[in-house]
Structure 1
Amino acid sequence: MKITLVTVGKIKEKYLEAAIAEYSKRLGRYCRLEIVQVADEKTPDKASELQEAQIRDKEGERILAHIKEDAYVIALAIDGKQRSSEEMAAWMEDLGVRGESHLQFIIGGSLGLSQAVLNRADTKISFSRLTFPHQLMRVILLEQIYRSFRIIKGEPYHK
């Protein structure tokens, strides 16, 4: 299986880079992983709703340029379906059984995802009702994908 993360913005914090590198290494046993970073737009202080929508649209165009036609697209969104680790593993396994060999997870910028990206997504998921910085969400997502593969393989997953 191939897993692609399409994300907005660059990671600036060394500790997050280290965590992403660690989970990327661990995932090498289970899948082909690719992380694509698209440029983020600067958000002015006190941006209007129109300016925020324009920013989401620009970032969305960059994201959509990396979406593969044959990929199953999963948008991380606050209103997405929440799953336990076990449920996520079963869901990912089911996608694989159904022939979905390329999963693309989309993480938007600080303002979220454009409507065009949400419309292209095959499904939306959420890891919490809490809001996390999008840079940290990369680590959380990679950890949950890693945990899911361990569950699928019947390996211990909650050390």
Structure 2
Amino acid sequence: MKVSTEGNILNSEEMALKIDNMSITGNSDVTILIGAKNAPDEEDISISKMDMDLGSSTLVIFEQLYRAYRILKNEPYHK
């Protein structure tokens, strides 16, 4: 999964659904590429249409993953 400005923007619920679908299909090896614009990928997602530095992009994607797992476990998260 590649994170870039050209990909599909996913909200927290959509990210949770995507992770859940990957686990249901047995796809447990997931690689997230951040800042690798020319890398081959199976899926291109976006956290924002705004360009960010690598540190900010990494922080935002980790926060999105945290929210997704909280949603999957039916636990509260700050919105």
Query: Normalising by the residue count of structure 2, what TM-score does the alignment of the two structures yield?
Result: 0.91
Give, in whole Å, the separation in 2 of the partners of 1:124 and 1:141. 13
Give, in whole Å, the separation in 2 of the partners of 1:137 and 1:82. 13
Q: Give the aligned partner of residue 23 of structure 2.
A: 96
Deviation of the 1:131 alpha carbon: 1.5
Q: Does 1:87 align with 2:7?
A: no
Q: Which structure 1 residue ranges, 4+ long, deviate > 3 Å from structure 2?
A: none
Superposed CA RMSD in Å reads 1.2
**Structure 1 segments unaligned to the other structure (5+ residues):** 1-73
Bigger strand fraction: 1
Q: Alignment partner of 1:104: what SS?
A: coil
RCO comparison, higher one (Cα < 8 Å, 6+): 2
Aligned residue pairs: how many? 79
Give, in whole Å, the separation in 2 of the partners of 1:157 and 1:94. 21
Superposed, which structure 2 residues align to 1:76-155 within 5 Å? 76-108=3-35, 112-114=36-38, 117=39, 119=40, 121-155=41-75
Deviation of the 1:145 alpha carbon: 0.5
**Structure 2 segments unaligned to the other structure (5+ residues):** none
Query: Normalising by the residue count of structure 1, what TM-score does the alignment of the two structures yield?
Result: 0.47
Listed one character per residue, the Cα deviations across residues 3-30 of structure 1 (whole Å, up to 9, x for unaligned) are: xxxxxxxxxxxxxxxxxxxxxxxxxxxx
Give, in whole Å, the separation in 1 of the partners of 2:4 and 2:52. 11
Greater radius of gyration (CA) = 1
Deviation of the 1:113 alpha carbon: 1.8
Percent identity of paired positions between Structure 1 and Structure 2: 32
